[in-house]
């Protein structure tokens, strides 16, 4: 994990991934639900692979149902990354 | 043509070699996976428009990533068609089947196919296109004494095919299986055909690797875009 990882960097990477998955950039806010963004379980698995590669953080299958909003995901990734 | 390639495991002979040729005819650059017979794999590659031979033992958990990286690098694009064809037999009646016979067959024929499929999915999901074809067997659907291990692995492929198909269908990725009956290959060369085996086949003959390859080619095509989770039997009517 790079020393310089910040919560802002994680937020930006998550937003970028969500845009790749087809979410409207203007709709992506911390309170936005994945359901509203039309981000599905398969997208979340892909997000998990991205953060594992970039931050060495593992999102497990059992974490996925708990992640309802963009903020939930950023919080969990930041917590696991020790930010 | 899409910017990617096809990978056929067990591509050095039999159904795999015929499938590599069929996918090449369909326009795909083809990675021909093989475990031990480099010369045979290269001979298949030499017949293709664009191709490469890729060594790897799919029963090795580390193999999937190495095989994909080589194929992607040598053929310059993601694997968008995966044909899990590598398969072995180690026959005996169940009462005499050893743990080793069981594990070897399941780890190559089923676990290997799973790991290659898992590795294939991410690039396919990203491309919003992918075709996975698992080469099962009629033995996965119908009894064949002496092959409990092979039957379990081949039936396992059918179940895996259905579930993964449902997981990824919304991204344009299809997962199907073919279930060949008695096909003229080295794998079936040991079977005694003089004992009336062929009489049980409505077509009254064994099949050719090319007849199976044609079905794989269809399932891998754009035309098969709404076919997923299915198992196409190619058996001359044996299971009808």
Q: Which residues of A belong to the active site? A: 40
| Tokens encoding B141 | 């659907």
The pLDDT of residue B214 is 98
The pLDDT of residue B193 is 62
Is the per-residue pLDDT at A1 higher than 70?
no
The pLDDT of residue B192 is 61
End-to-end CA distance of chain A: 11
- The 3-state DSSP composition of chain B as helix, strand, coil percent (nearest 5) reads 50, 20, 35
Is the per-residue pLDDT at A2 higher than 60?
no
Over the stretch A29-72, which tens digit does the pLDDT of each residue have? 999 999 999 999 899 998 998 999 999 999 988 998 899 999 99
pLDDT along chain B (240 residues), means of 10: 93 98 98 98 96 98 97 97 97 97 98 98 94 98 96 98 97 97 82 74 96 98 98 96
User: With an 8 Å Cβ cutoff, are A46 and B122 in contact?
Assistant: yes
- Which CATH class, in words, describes the domain spanning B5-234? alpha beta
The pLDDT of residue B36 is 96
User: Which domains occur in chain A, in start order?
Assistant: 7-80 (1.10.1200.10)
**φ and ψ of B231, to 5 deg:** -120, 120
Q: Which residues pair with B231 in a beta bridge?
A: B177
The pLDDT of residue B191 is 67
Distance from CA of A69 to the nearest CA of B (A): 22
Distance from CA of A51 to the nearest CA of B (A): 14
Measured between beta carbons, which residues in chain A are less than 8 angstroms from residue B126? 46
ipTM computed for the complex: 0.77
Q: What is the pTM of this model?
A: 0.91
Residue of chain B with shortest Cα separation from A47: B122
Residue of chain A with shortest Cα separation from B119: A49
């Amino acid at each position: 994990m790079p020393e310089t990882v910040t919560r802002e960097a994680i937020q930006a990477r998550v937003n970028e991934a969500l845009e790749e998955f087809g979410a409207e950039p203007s709709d992506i806010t911390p309170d936005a639900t994945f359901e509203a963004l039309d981000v599905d379980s398969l997208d979340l698995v892909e997000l998990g692979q991205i953060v594992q590669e970039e931050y060495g953080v593992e999102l497990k299958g059992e974490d996925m149902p708990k992640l309802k909003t963009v903020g939930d995901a950023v919080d969990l990734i930041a917590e696991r990354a020790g930010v | 043509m899409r910017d990617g390639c096809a990978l056929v495991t067990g591509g050095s002979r039999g159904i795999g070699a015929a499938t590599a040729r069929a996918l090449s005819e369909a326009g795909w650059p083809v990675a021909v996976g093989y475990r031990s017979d480099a010369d045979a794999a290269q001979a298949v590659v030499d017949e293709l428009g664009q191709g490469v031979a890729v060594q790897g033992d799919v029963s090795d958990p580390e193999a999937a990533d190495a095989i994909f990286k080589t194929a992607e690098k040598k053929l310059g694009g993601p694997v968008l068609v995966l044909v899990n064809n590598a398969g072995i037999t180690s026959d005996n009646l169940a009462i005499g089947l050893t743990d080793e016979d069981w594990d070897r067959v399941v780890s190559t024929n089923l676990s290997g196919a799973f790991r290659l499929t898992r590795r294939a999915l991410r690039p396919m999901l990203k491309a919003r296109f992918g075709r996975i074809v698992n080469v099962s067997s009629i033995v996965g659907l119908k009894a064949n004494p002496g092959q409990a291990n092979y039957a379990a692995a081949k039936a396992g492929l059918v179940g895996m095919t259905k579930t993964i198909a449902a997981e990824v269908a919304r991204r344009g990725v299809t997962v199907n299986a073919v279930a060949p009956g008695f096909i003229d290959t080295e794998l079936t060369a040991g079977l005694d055909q003089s004992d009336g085996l062929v009489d049980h086949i409505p077509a009254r003959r064994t099949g050719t690797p090319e007849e199976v390859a044609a079905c794989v080619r269809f399932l891998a095509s754009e035309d098969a875009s709404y076919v997923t989770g299915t198992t196409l039997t190619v058996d001359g009517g044996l299971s009808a």
